[in-house]
Amino acid sequence: MKRVECGSHSLLLTDLYELTMAYGYWKHRIHEREAVFHLSFRRNPFRGNYSVACGLADAVDHLRHLSIDGAQCCYLQSLVGNDKRPLFEKDFLDYLRKMNFSCDVDAVPEGTIVFPHEPVLRVRGPILQAQILETVLLNLIASQSLIATKAARICLAAEGDPVIEFGLRHAQGINGGMAATRAAYIGGCVATSNVLAGMHYDIPVKGTQAHSWVMAFETEREAFQAYAEAIPNNCVFLVDTYNTLEGVRNAVWMAQRLREQGHAAVGIRLDSGDLAYFSTEAQKILDQAGCADMAIIASNELDENIIARLKRQRVPIHVWCIGTKLVSGYDQPALGSVYKLGAIKKQDGTWRPCIKISEHLEKMSIPGILQVRRFQMGREFVGDMIYDETILKASEHIIVDPTDTTRTRLMPVNAIISDLLVPIFRKGKQVYQDVGIQAIRRRVREQLQCLHPDLKQPFDPYEYPVGMELNLHRQRTDSFTSMRGVNHHLAP
């Protein structure tokens, strides 16, 4: 079987049901009917209070190069249904091959702080095209937003200490490792161990040594000396291979010799045991030896909760290396994101709002052509309003909670307002210019500074106010009532 190249932009990078629905639209000659889809998520990950939007650059790159070639069309032609007959007509496959991407796409810029139920991305265009994009957009946006959020949480817990991403070996595949490194850097990490990502995304790379290096020599001192001779300008000594505190003393011994040669050891790394105890004792040894300038670097299955606990103990750890629990989204490996149809244009040119009804209010979609308006007082974000661009009126900016309609709030009339979704594509042509990864990182830091301090606590129950604009709430209620009436036979 031919290997699929990483970063493929094929139209086949989707779920089969997207293509069967596209075929159905084409068969019924409604494939060019204009529709609007929204990508959002239902809950903040990691029991937190905010999320970091990420992954847009990869989504833009995919859409710019979206295509299907002859071999891929032949593969689709080979697919058969239950009756062993082809799933797709050749004319449909010819249509796909000649199709040019022509949708409008609006999205929240990467690095923006976002919240549940808000559209992070909106696609407007022929329903066939917008439908096919569901799978790949969810994959690219949700996965990187998850990791960027985790990184932001970890970096906040570290209280300004450098955090280095060390997770490639435990990431979800090669592409997953590259995407996770990018998202972790955007979320606040200062460097990565991933050399290819360092080159590709212009991220600083850092590394130490493994236990295998120490074990390859007769003694720990011999291992440290050999490493210092090979790389005198990048010496971090891993001290817990045999006896941690003795390892610290051996690192000091080598650091003193490096100093005599005109070099400075970077530090020591602790990778096991009681980090509070060993870092404290290690600092005493370093201080007594005149090596207080050496950094104590910690690894070993760390996350924001462990770091926050160690920070409360005021441990002398200066750098945090995070691997598995960052790049895998360890405690929540997926973001609960959805891609729902919000509106479809009727033959008379008017829009019909579309709603997905659920017995759980949290899972009921919000109909319309949606935008998000953020309210800011001074330096602080105070609330977000989801509204329909076609029905926004001069209301008092009353918002209604999407999951509890008894909860309403009046947004301040003197607030600074900004709409979060910005144009990315118009008629299939890119109109948004990527600002680069450094600017995205700065946006994360700046936006986090605009959040109430309680929102940045790992598990504080404080909720940021997000709601539907009052007219949108009424539209949603009317749509619910109407569709329940039309489809009453589906009700329990």
pLDDT over 70 for what percent of the chain? Answer: 96
Does residue 473 lie in a domain region?
A: no
Does residue 234 lie in a domain region?
A: yes
28-57 pLDDT, tens digit each: 999 999 999 999 999 999 999 999 999 999
Mean residue pLDDT across the chain:
93
405 pLDDT tier (thresholds 50, 70, 90): confident
Which pLDDT value is given to residue 357? 87
Can you tell me the distance from the alpha carbon of 445 to that of 239, in angstroms, rounded to the nearest whole number?
A: 34
Query: Which of 380, 374, 459, 371 has the alpha carbon at shortest distance from 422?
Result: 371
- The CATH number assigned to the domain holding 289 equals 3.20.20.70
Does residue 348 lie in a domain region?
A: no
338 pLDDT tier (thresholds 50, 70, 90): very high
The DSSP string of 302-323 is --HHHHHHHHHTT----EEEE-
> Is pLDDT of 60 > 90?
yes
Does residue 295 lie in a domain region?
A: yes
306-337 pLDDT, tens digit each: 999 999 999 999 999 999 999 999 999 999 89
Give the residue numbers spanning the domain of 186: 148-327
Does residue 143 lie in a domain region?
A: no
> Is pLDDT of 8 > 80?
no
Does residue 62 lie in a domain region?
A: no
Which pLDDT value is given to residue 485? 65
Does residue 232 lie in a domain region?
A: yes
Residue 425 · residue 63 · CB < 8 Å:
yes
Which uninterrupted H or E stretch holds 383?
strand 380-388
433-459 pLDDT, tens digit each: 989 999 999 999 999 999 999 999 877
Structural domains counted in the chain: 1
> Is pLDDT of 492 > 70?
no
Can you tell me the distance from the alpha carbon of 287 to that of 173, in angstroms, rounded to the nearest whole number?
A: 42
> Is pLDDT of 489 > 60?
no
88-127 pLDDT, tens digit each: 999 999 999 999 999 999 999 999 999 999 999 999 999 9
Does residue 289 lie in a domain region?
A: yes
H helix count then E strand count, the chain: 16, 21
> Is pLDDT of 5 > 50?
no
